């Protein structure tokens, strides 16, 4: 295990990477020549990533792993604070080379190491800790005038979903005053708060009380009301159906449901269940926004789940829009796994008698 050079069968140099013989991807390339993997190299990569994100504001994903030429490293920037995910043994082994470069290139005052399941699967027993500087007790995130104060304990586990930023903007643009909006798996309420700001009656559903607390404080600062329900999403949706509730717009944004191919059947069943409830809760002419942040759940899988749900609810639907992750979460054709976020906007209409 360690830094390795790759050559073709003919002896042509192909690149330099980190070899992990027991990993699913045994060799992850950092560069496609035989140059060194030193601090100067990593600083150049970081500066290039920052230039590509110029104009995106102070809160964005700075490094998106392989899509930015950094296998195993993800960095989210929240103004002067960085949240750093190390997902592979190679990225951790090289930290003494890229960490000083990250600090120098960004000028960030603090950086927090955020352990992930990816790291655990790679055999890395990492604990949350400051990589440098003094990390504040709350991560303050401002998005289009909405301020979220996220406790550090929540930031270390779920953070803030930067990848839904453009979808939240699109969603807010189509909400109308007086509509009823349901935000399921709301986390800190990014969709619900925007709907309330437009004059809609918003209900947020999540099982994480800390996240709902962030939502409540953000609503108070914004001067709007968002109702909340804590609980398991399918059970809450079933209860809303039983209560006869109706909504004009429903957001279904669950966490990653398929972290490996074997999880896909269960994920598709859950999406079908969620969509079935959603179709029954919609007002005529309403829309469902359903997202998957799992690479293994493809657009075709979401559509299949929606067709199953539609059949059970005797409902057809139009696909109004399909979106993917924003530009600070780039995806490259040569690395299919870098495309992970898919969102379908569905507009059901009843079948004729």
CA–CA dist 265, 182 (Å, integer): 26
What band does 351 get if pLDDT is binned at 50, 70 and 90?
low
**What is the C-alpha to C-alpha distance for residues 12 and 2, in angstroms, rounded to an integer?**
21
Pick the more confident residue, 125 or 109: 109
Predicted pLDDT of residue 117: 83
pLDDT at res. 335: 87
| pLDDT above 90 (res 58) | yes
Longest pairwise C-alpha distance within the chain: 70
Q: Is 105 a catalytic residue?
A: no
Rounded percentage of the chain residues whose pLDDT exceeds 90: 82
Name the catalytic one among 124, 226, 293, 346.
293
Which region holds residue 187: left if phi is over 0, alpha if psi is between -120 and 50, else beta? left
φ/ψ of 208, rounded to 5, equals -90, 105
* pLDDT above 70 for 353: no
pLDDT score of 328: 95
Length reported for the chain: 353
pLDDT at 259 over 90: no
Query: Among candidates 297, 194, 317, which has minimal Cα distance to 255?
Result: 297
Residue 280 Rama label (left phi>0; alpha psi -120 to 50; beta): alpha
Residue 177's Cβ-count burial label (10 Å; 0-12, 13-18, 19+) is: exposed
Quote the pLDDT of residue 118. Answer: 83
In whole angstroms, how far apart are CA 205 and each of 191, 259, 267?
11, 23, 19
The distance of Cα 118 from the centroid of its chain, to the nearest Å, equals 15
Average pLDDT over residues 236-252: 97
Judge whether residue 203 has pLDDT over 70.
Answer: yes
Residue 116 CB-density burial (10 A; 0-12 exposed, 13-18 middle, 19+ buried): middle
Look at residue 282 and tell me whether its pLDDT is greater than 80: yes
Sign for the CA dihedral angle at 70, 76, 79, 80 comes to negative
Q: How far is CA 41 from CA 30, 52, 100, 237, in A?
A: 10, 17, 12, 51
- Edge-first strand listing for the sheet containing 247-252: 226-230, 201-206, 180-184, 247-252, 282-292, 342-350, 315-324
Residue at token pair 């990993």 = 23
Q: Is residue 155 over pLDDT 90?
A: no
* pTM beyond 0.85, yes or no: yes
The residues with which 15 forms a beta bridge, in sequence order, are 6
Q: What tokens appear for 207 in the block?
A: 């099982």
| CA–CA dist 300, 313 (Å, integer) | 20
Work out the angle at residue 85's Cα, subtended by the Cα atoms of residues 80 and 87, and round it to the nearest 5 degrees: 160
CA distance 114 to 137: 15
Structure tokens at 153: 């304990």
User: Over the chain, what is the mean pLDDT?
Assistant: 93
- The strand pair at 138-143 and 146-151 is best described as antiparallel
Question: Of the given ranges (76-90, 120-134, 252-266), which has the lowest mean pLDDT?
Answer: 120-134
Fill in the DSSP letter of residue 223: T
CB atoms within 10 A of CB 149: 16
Mean pLDDT of 183-201: 97
> How many angstroms separate the CA atoms of 314 and 353, rounded?
10
**pLDDT for the residue 110:** 96
Report the C-alpha gap between 151 and 52 in whole angstroms: 29
pLDDT band at 352 (very low <50, low <70, confident <90, very high): low
Residue with tokens 């926004």: 289
Domains in the chain (CATH in brackets) are: 2-136 (3.30.750.80), 152-350 (3.40.50.150)
Q: Are 256 and 295 in contact (CB under 8 A)?
A: no
């Amino acid at each position: 295990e360690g830094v390795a050079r790759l050559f073709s069968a003919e002896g042509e140099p192909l690149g330099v990477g980190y070899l992990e013989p027991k990993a699913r991807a045994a060799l992850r390339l950092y560069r496609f020549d035989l140059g060194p993997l030193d601090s100067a190299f990593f600083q150049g990569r970081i500066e290039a990533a920052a230039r590509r994100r110029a104009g995106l504001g102070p809160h964005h994903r700075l490094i998106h792993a392989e899509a930015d030429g950094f296998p195993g490293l993800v960095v989210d920037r929240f103004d002067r604070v960085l949240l750093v995910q190390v997902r592979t043994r190679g990225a951790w082994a090289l930290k003494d080379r890229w960490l000083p470069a990250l600090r120098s290139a960004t000028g960030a005052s603090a950086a927090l190491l955020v352990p992930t399941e990816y790291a655990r699967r790679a055999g890395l027993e990492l604990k949350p800790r400051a990589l440098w500087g003094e990390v504040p007790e709350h991560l303050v995130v401002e998005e289009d005038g909405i301020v979220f104060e996220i406790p550090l304990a929540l930031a270390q586990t779920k953070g803030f979903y930067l990848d839904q930023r453009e979808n939240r903007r699109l969603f807010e643009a189509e909400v109308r005053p007086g509509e009823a909006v349901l935000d399921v798996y709301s986390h800190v309420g990014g969709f619900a708060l925007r709907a309330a700001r437009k004059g809609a009656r918003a209900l947020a559903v999540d099982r994480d009380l800390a996240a709902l607390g962030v939502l409540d404080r953000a609503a108070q600062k914004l001067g709007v009301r968002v109702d909340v329900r804590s609980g398991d999403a399918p059970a809450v949706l079933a209860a809303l159906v039983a209560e006869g509730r109706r909504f004009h717009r429903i957001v279904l944004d669950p966490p990653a449901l398929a972290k490996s191919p074997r999880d896909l059947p269960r994920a598709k069943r859950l999406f079908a269940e969620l969509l079935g409830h959603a179709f029954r809760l919609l007002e005529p002419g309403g829309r469902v926004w359903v997202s998957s942040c799992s690479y293994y759940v493809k657009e075709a899988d979401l559509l299949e789940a929606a067709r199953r749900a539609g059949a059970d609810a005797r409902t057809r639907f139009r696909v109004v829009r399909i979106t993917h992750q924003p530009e600070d979460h780039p995806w490259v054709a040569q690395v299919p796994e870098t495309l992970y976020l898919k969102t379908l906007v569905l507009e059901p209409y009843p079948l004729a008698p």
